[in-house]
């Protein structure tokens, strides 16, 4: 009798810990508007599959695609759930919209809604395409203070996120902050699993553990332990994300929560000068100017399910003495 062939182990694009020599800075998804909607994992997959879209969804998503191509700027779309998930009365779904405020800021503005079915697409039209939908005002809900912590657990998109994200979310859910921790659909960066998105701040973190995430939640301990795990702030393009992340490493916890703005200047193919304007801990305005340069590329895997690698840029940052 022929013995069964051994089952080969899937080679994951992340082993749950940082890869020596690779820095994750500059990899956060850039957006000015993000939607976070309550949905089951089965609904996550339906939302991502155009074959199952309704005519209304197909029409709106087509228009949004045209908007993204014309503007050159995407939008965030997170679907979240937890073991505590409870739908509202009449099947209402919780939806949160995060929008970038004008000027310097530390966190995106948040608005909460309770929506039926395809009302989500009216909200997306209103937020991204300026289509009037005054009826949505009746769906507004109270917005709580504080942060929500979205852990990517979308194993059907990438097995690494399932293997490492699910245990992280489970561990965090048992902490005092656990009521604001969510299992979340794919938001990019499989190779950084387990990866966490912090809202309304709009920051994304790589290779997180319960201990590291707890420190971040409470702004506790040495911030420099977290600095190598900071992927970036979604308000900025990649080179500015790198400069802003390095400013956090050199400044401390206060940097995360202070209003700031960035301007990318003197851009060349592999380098740029980034000006960061901020408000210091004592309320005094300040400026940091950083020279960011791509020094080399690493060949990294972007998926556990597809062969091949891609070139991931690695950076150096040098601050000029101007404040």
Q: What pLDDT does 7 receive? A: 40
Give 123-162 pLDDT, tens digit per residue: 999 999 999 999 999 999 999 999 999 999 987 777 889 9
Element containing residue 160 per DSSP (H, E): helix 159-173
Structural domain includes residue 100: yes
- Whether the predicted pLDDT of 6 surpasses 50: no
Q: What pLDDT does 100 receive? A: 98
10-24, 44-58, 241-255: the lowest-pLDDT one: 10-24
Percent of the chain scored above 70 by pLDDT? 90
Q: Is the dihedral of CA 208, 210, 214, 215 positive or negative?
A: negative
Structural domain includes residue 241: no
Across the chain, mean pLDDT equals: 90
Other C-beta atoms lying within 10 Å of the C-beta of residue 76: 22
What DSSP designation does 238 have?
Answer: H
Q: What pLDDT does 84 receive? A: 58
Structural domain includes residue 167: yes
Structural domain includes residue 129: yes
Q: What pLDDT does 73 receive? A: 94
Cα 199 from Cα 159, distance rounded (Å): 24
Q: Is 98 helix (H, G, I), strand (E, B) or coil?
A: strand
Structural domain includes residue 119: yes
Give 106-115 pLDDT, tens digit per residue: 999 999 999 9
Cα 204 from Cα 221, distance rounded (Å): 19
Structural domain includes residue 95: yes
Which tokens belong to 249? 């490493």
The model carries a pTM of: 0.91
- Say which residue the tokens 């749950």 belong to: 16
Structural domain includes residue 261: no
Q: What pLDDT does 13 receive? A: 64
Indicate the number of domains in the chain. 1
- Whether the predicted pLDDT of 90 surpasses 60: no
Q: What pLDDT does 215 receive? A: 97
Give 51-84 pLDDT, tens digit per residue: 999 999 999 999 999 999 999 999 999 999 976 5
Report the CATH number that the domain containing residue 54 is assigned in CATH. 3.40.30.10
Residue range(s) defining the domain that contains residue 170: 10-236
Which tokens belong to 159? 């097995």
Q: What average pLDDT does this structure show over 99-104?
A: 97
Structural domain includes residue 75: yes
């Amino acid at each position: 009798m022929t013995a069964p062939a051994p089952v080969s182990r899937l080679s994951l694009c992340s082993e749950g810990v940082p890869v020596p020599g690779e820095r994750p800075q500059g990899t956060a998804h850039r957006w000015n508007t993000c939607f976070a909607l309550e949905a089951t994992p089965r609904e996550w997959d339906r939302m991502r599959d155009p074959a199952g879209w309704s005519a209304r969804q197909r029409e709106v998503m087509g228009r949004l695609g045209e908007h993204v191509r014309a503007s050159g700027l995407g939008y965030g779309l997170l679907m979240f759930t937890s073991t505590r998930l409870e739908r509202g009365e009449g099947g209402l779904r919780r939806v949160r919209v995060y929008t970038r405020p004008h000027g310097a800021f530390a966190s995106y503005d948040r608005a909460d809604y309770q929506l039926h079915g395809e009302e989500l697409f009216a909200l997306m039209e209103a937020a991204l395409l300026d289509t009037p939908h005054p009826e949505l005002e009746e769906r507004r809900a109270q917005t709580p203070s504080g942060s929500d912590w979205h852990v990517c657990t979308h194993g059907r998109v990438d097995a690494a996120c399932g293997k490492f994200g699910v245990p992280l979310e489970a561990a965090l859910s048992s902490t005092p902050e656990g009521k604001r921790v969510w299992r979340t659909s794919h938001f990019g960066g499989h190779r950084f699993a387990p990866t966490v998105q912090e809202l309304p701040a709009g920051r994304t973190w790589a290779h997180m553990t319960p201990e590291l995430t707890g420190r971040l939640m409470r702004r506790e301990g040495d911030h420099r332990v977290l600095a190598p795990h900071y992927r970036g702030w979604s308000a900025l393009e990649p080179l500015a994300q790198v400069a802003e992340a390095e400013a956090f490493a050199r400044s401390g916890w206060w940097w995360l929560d202070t209003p700031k703005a960035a301007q990318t200047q003197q851009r060349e193919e592999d380098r740029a000068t980034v000006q960061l304007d901020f408000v210091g801990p004592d309320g005094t305005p300040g400026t940091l100017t950083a020279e960011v340069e791509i020094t080399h590329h690493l060949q990294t895997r972007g998926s556990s399910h597809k062969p091949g690698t891609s070139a991931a840029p690695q950076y150096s940052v040098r601050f000029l003495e101007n404040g």
